[in-house]
Amino acid sequence: MATCGEVLVKLLEGYGVEQVFGIPGVHTVELYRGLARSPINHVTPRHEQGAGFMADGYARTSGKPGVCFIITGPGMTNITTAMGQAYADSIPMLVISSVQTRSQLGGGRGKLHELPNQSALVGGVAAFSHTLMSADELPAVLARAFALFQAGRPRPVHIEIPLDVLVQPADHLLASEPVQIARAGAAPAAVAHMSQMLANAKRPLILAGGGAIEAAQSLTLLAELLQAPVALTINAKGLLPSAHPLLIGSTQSLVATRALVAEADVVLAIGTELAETDYDVTFAGGFEIPGALLRIDIDPDQTVRNYPPKVALVADAQMAAQALLAELSLQPLSTRDADWGSVRAAALRSELERLWDAPTRAQTRLLETVLEELPEIVVVGDSTQPVYSGNLTFNPEQPRRWFNASTGYGTLGYALPAAIGAWLGGGAQPSQRRPVACLIGDGGLQFTLAELACAVEARTPVIVLLWNNQGYEEIKKYMVNRAIEPVGVDIYTPDFIAVAQGLGCAAERIDTAEQLRAALRMAVDRQGPTLIEIDQKRWTQGVSA
């Protein structure tokens, strides 16, 4: 007789789940009863926050939901930070946890791992949290979760299963079939209205976000048809290849780029919140869209937040872009201003190139060296200086190749576990997977340093690029610039090489680009992780010399 926990594993298989992240505990062993016989792979992080970050990175490279098995109480409080990051960036994540028996929910009897209301606690970082009160509910609640992942704005979903429900007989549920939901198409009337405005525009511009990365080819064709410069959010990097003449990058926080956006008479925003961390990473305000704004989003609520649209369309980005292309091909396009399109985009790129200071150039050179040596690499970043620079200067060739935690929720320690998940999500077989680099600072790495042991155990050849400036350098600058005497930012810096080696990793320090190239060549051939430590001062001085 199969229990609810065993049937859950079989139903997840039916939804195409191939990977689970979790830490077994006394309240989750029933979730594991069927896992040993399943083709689903299991990875054990060293902290539940790491499980969530791994699921996040897995989802970003695979395009599939990241799935976690998490224990009651402390396991759920530990994973909420990772759920918050995924919630902010619209990443599909399924968190399945245990909870006290139905008769003990909210009882306050001092039971092991007890919380007054676990579901309410995580509800703020989930699209929804559901308590399974009977095994019979399982197919329906899974269908609800995957319907959101497939056809809505994907965000974390939490399903908690009481300990007594986990062991209920559930053989009769094995015949349940997964539900497949199609995304919303583009309403013809809205498409016609948008197309007419875009066709008549003299200076059209496209703002594309992470919600549009599946529409990369169609959006590129649309931009070329309209001769519209394209600005991307951090999560949309790679939507246009780096050398595309219409690409203006992810520089909306800079005055020159904001001036270009302000010149546009019609702006098409697709799959973007138009939020602070998309367009104002300096928190200074000043990003304006005076032209007619057209918004396309899968989330109806999001189409009217932050910047009110002239016309809004609730639809899948790919379907909407294809519909606009089809409609525009039937209409005559007005003559674009002569200094618009690729001419204006080139002028902006040239202007920005002159603005970069020596540290930004040195950090960009680090990224360029990595890309030159490993052209297919996926870079997973934390909140650290080279990531901030790369958000402005680095443009990968395809989507899902650059993402980080410096925007949105903005957590530290994300990059290492997320990089582990990103590598696992890169293909069914290790030979199919692109190399993955974790770009992280010495402060951030200490948040999740223990996950190096997980990387060794899971045989994930993640390349940890450790940018070491011996403390929280950016926060220290922030305090000094505001006449605040620095406190708490000059933290103890361990010997990361010794620590990494003690955890079973290969590790070395480098100072020059040639040393970095050699280290990368060796790292990419290993079957486990490599830590490459880069001292900020020595690298910057060497590159600037």
| 59 against 1, higher pLDDT | 59
Judged by average pLDDT, the poorest of 114-123, 171-180, 344-353 is 114-123
Q: Please report which confidence band the pLDDT of residue 545 belongs to, taking 50, 70 and 90 as the band edges.
A: low
For residue 408, is pLDDT > 90?
no
> Do residues 322 and 298 share a domain?
yes
Indicate which CATH number applies to the domain containing 74.
3.40.50.970
**CA distance linking residue 6 with residue 143, whole number of Å:** 17
What residues contact residue 447 under an 8 Å CB cut-off, 6+ apart? 412, 413
Domain boundary pick from 173, 201, 232: 173
**CA distance linking residue 396 with residue 213, whole number of Å:** 13
Give the residue numbers spanning the domain of 343: 188-353
> Do residues 114 and 248 share a domain?
no
**Residue 105, both tokens:** 């929910």
Percent of the chain at pLDDT above 70? 99
The answer as to whether 179 is a domain residue is no
**CA distance linking residue 274 with residue 137, whole number of Å:** 38
516 in Cβ contact with 510 (< 8 Å): yes
pLDDT of residue 280: 63
pLDDT of residue 101: 79
For residue 544, is pLDDT > 70?
no
Task: State pLDDT tens for residues 474-499.
Answer: 888 889 999 999 999 989 999 999 99
- CA–chain centroid gap for 312, Å, is 25
pLDDT of residue 382: 96
pLDDT of residue 363: 95
- Residue 246 sits at φ, ψ, to 5 deg, of -95, -5
Residue with tokens 């990059």: 415
> Do residues 437 and 494 share a domain?
yes
pLDDT of residue 27: 85
Integer angstrom CA distances of residue 176 from 12, 142, 150, 164, 173: 11, 11, 18, 21, 5
> Do residues 248 and 314 share a domain?
yes
pLDDT of residue 541: 83
Percent of the chain at pLDDT above 90? 83
- What is 245-280 written as a DSSP string? TTB--S-TTSHHHHHHHHH-SEEEEES----HHHH-
H or E element at residue 467: strand 463-468
> Do residues 131 and 147 share a domain?
yes
Q: Note the maximum CA span of the chain.
A: 74
Structural domains counted in the chain? 3
H or E element at residue 515: helix 513-524
> Do residues 415 and 344 share a domain?
no
Q: Please report which confidence band the pLDDT of residue 1 belongs to, taking 50, 70 and 90 as the band edges.
A: confident
391 in Cβ contact with 407 (< 8 Å): yes
SS3 state of residue 463 = strand
pLDDT of residue 481: 92
**Residue 166, both tokens:** 């986990």
Task: State pLDDT tens for residues 68-124.
Answer: 999 999 999 999 999 999 999 999 999 999 887 787 777 778 777 778 888 999 999
The answer as to whether 182 is a domain residue is no
**CA distance linking residue 41 with residue 255, whole number of Å:** 47
Average pLDDT over residues 25-51: 93
pLDDT of residue 34: 85
> Do residues 252 and 378 share a domain?
no
Average pLDDT over residues 7-24: 96
Q: For the purposes of burial, counting CB atoms within 10 Å of the CB of 514, is it exposed (0-12), middle (13-18) or buried (19 or more)?
A: exposed
The answer as to whether 180 is a domain residue is no
> Do residues 77 and 161 share a domain?
yes
What residues contact residue 416 under an 8 Å CB cut-off, 6+ apart? 50, 53, 382, 438, 440, 445, 448, 449, 451, 452, 455, 462, 464
Task: State pLDDT tens for residues 351-396.
Answer: 999 999 999 999 999 999 999 999 999 999 999 999 999 999 999 9
pLDDT of residue 302: 93
| 518 against 275, higher pLDDT | 518
Average pLDDT, whole number, for the chain? 93
The answer as to whether 181 is a domain residue is no
Q: By C-alpha distance, which of 58, 86, 42 is closest to 433?
A: 58
Domain boundary pick from 173, 199, 227: 173
H or E element at residue 517: helix 513-524
Q: By C-alpha distance, which of 218, 385, 228, 362 is closest to 294?
A: 228
> Do residues 134 and 32 share a domain?
yes
Domain boundary pick from 353, 379, 412: 353
pLDDT of residue 283: 63
Length of the chain, please?
Answer: 545
For residue 281, is pLDDT > 70?
no
What residues contact residue 317 under an 8 Å CB cut-off, 6+ apart? 211, 212, 214, 215, 219, 270, 271, 296, 298
**Helical segments of 126-203, H only:** 138-151, 163-166, 188-200
Q: Please report which confidence band the pLDDT of residue 540 belongs to, taking 50, 70 and 90 as the band edges.
A: confident
Indicate which CATH number applies to the domain containing 302.
3.40.50.1220
Helices 4-14 and 138-151 cross at an angle (nearest 10°) of: 30
528 in Cβ contact with 491 (< 8 Å): no
> Do residues 523 and 456 share a domain?
yes
The amino acid sitting at 480 is: V
The answer as to whether 183 is a domain residue is no
The answer as to whether 43 is a domain residue is yes
Average pLDDT over residues 218-243: 96
> Do residues 116 and 69 share a domain?
yes
Q: Please report which confidence band the pLDDT of residue 282 belongs to, taking 50, 70 and 90 as the band edges.
A: low
> Do residues 521 and 470 share a domain?
yes
